[in-house]
Chains A and B, each alone.
Chain A
Amino acid sequence: MIPAAFDYVRAESAEEAISLIGQHGDESKFLAGGHSLVPLMKLRLAQPTVLIDIGRLTDLSYIRDDGDMIAIGAMTRHMDVENSDVLRQHAPLLAHAASHVGDPQVRHRGTIGGSICHSDSASDLPATTLALGATYVAQGPNGTREIAAGDFYQGFLTTVLAPDELLTEIRVPKMDGAGWSFQKFNRRAQDWAIVGVAAWRRNGDSGVGLVNMGSVPILASGVSSALSSGASIEDAAAQAAEGCDPTSDLNASVEYREHLARVLTRRALEEASAG
């Protein structure tokens, strides 16, 4: 399978990338690692007329300790997120979730920013960063803005980013001492999750993100409120599928996905509570 024809330009800086996408218009796309976009282009589900390759913006590949937060450059590869000592210490849930993305070959090329901008609710990192209460930093022609993960995902493969905005950084609160768990249910090792759950607990607080339970990654806020009102893990997890809108496909019916969301949330909370 070969993508439809397009023009290719390479950006040398974030500013140049934003300027190039402004010049080339709405039918152009940023190309990061290419491990979400290129498959879509091969299937002709995406047919951008111009690709602006940001793959060499190495200054957007970093993981930094930044006070109460960890700042992750959008071009940081999954493999580097997975192996980051800083993340393993302060946000191990994210490092662990990154190790579940695709397979090693994919993780050598795919980036955290690319995965988030692709906005596939079946991907691991959108729901995980949502559960962690991450903030995304976007740069446009008129400067930068911060977008809460909860406000970022609009619909299937759709985000609030303007066409000429570039995601530059993911900011994740430090979660030192939190219990955490990542539950990914799939049939084969490298598959997308049929349903996944990313969860953490610390003192009275918690966060539960659901993978593949609707057109966008979902924050199961009902589960967290139940926990903070003193509900048992079992009772809180029973609410996991509330407000979700999963689809039926070859792998699972709606009812089965709802069942998985409850079961996996219970398991995740049990693991996160075990410390």
Chain B
Amino acid sequence: MDVTITVNGQQHTHDVEPRTLLVHYIREHAGLTGTNIGCDTSSCGACSIHLNGEAAKSCTVLAAQADGMEITTIEGMAATDGTLHPMQQAFMENHGLQCGYCTPGMVMAATSLLDENPSPTEDEVRIGLEGNLCRCTGYHNIVKSVLAAADA
């Protein structure tokens, strides 16, 4: 089936099997490999993207379900001149990543969180990121980064 999805502002149409997961569409059809596959069971959040502006786990959405919708991936966060998104900048300045595998998903979940709650408390950040796991257990600096981005 033909699926048309606007990825980071650019419209893509691809012929995919109905069982194609959105994360595979992003990585293999749109060619954007910044979105990682972690647990593949909608637990870890590494595959988080924005679907019509809200964080979603792309391993648990069919590309067919996203037909006609807009998605943003980590590649779409920085400005075209390379200026980092304030959340990316905050992760960099606060050492919000160690191995980096969870980072794209963390950034996408964290920006969605701030869209819904622009001035969260530390507790609200921790609860708001409950769907994202960091195997380095670097949560302290991740939370610090999100709070810094909220203040930025």
Contact = CB atoms under 8 A, between A and B. Distances in A.
- Same complex for A and B? Answer yes
A38 interface: yes
A189 B130 contact: yes
B55 A2 contact: no
Interface residues of B, number: 31
Interface string B44-62: 0100100100111100111
A105 B56 contact: yes
Interface of A: 1-8, 10, 31, 34-35, 38-39, 41-42, 51, 53, 55, 79, 102-106, 108-109, 189-190
Contacts of A102: 42, 131
Given A5-B19, A6-B18, A106 B41 contact: no
Contacts of A105: 42, 45, 48, 55-57, 109, 112, 131
27 contacts: A5-B18, A5-B19, A6-B19, A34-B60, A38-B61, A38-B62, A39-B60, A41-B19, A42-B41, A53-B64, A53-B65, A102-B131, A103-B132, A104-B113, A105-B42, A105-B45, A105-B56, A105-B57, A105-B112, A106-B57, A106-B60, A109-B51, A109-B61, A189-B127, A189-B130, A190-B130, A190-B131
A5, A39, A79: most-surrounded residue (chain B CB, <10 A):
A39
A5 B132 CA distance: 29
A52 to B, nearest CB: 12
A102 B132 CA distance: 11
Contacts of B42: 35, 39, 102, 105-106
A35 B131 CA distance: 13
Nearest to B52: A108
B128 A104 contact: yes
Nearest to B42: A39
A31 B60 CA distance: 12
A139 to B, nearest CB: 22
A122 to B, nearest CB: 15
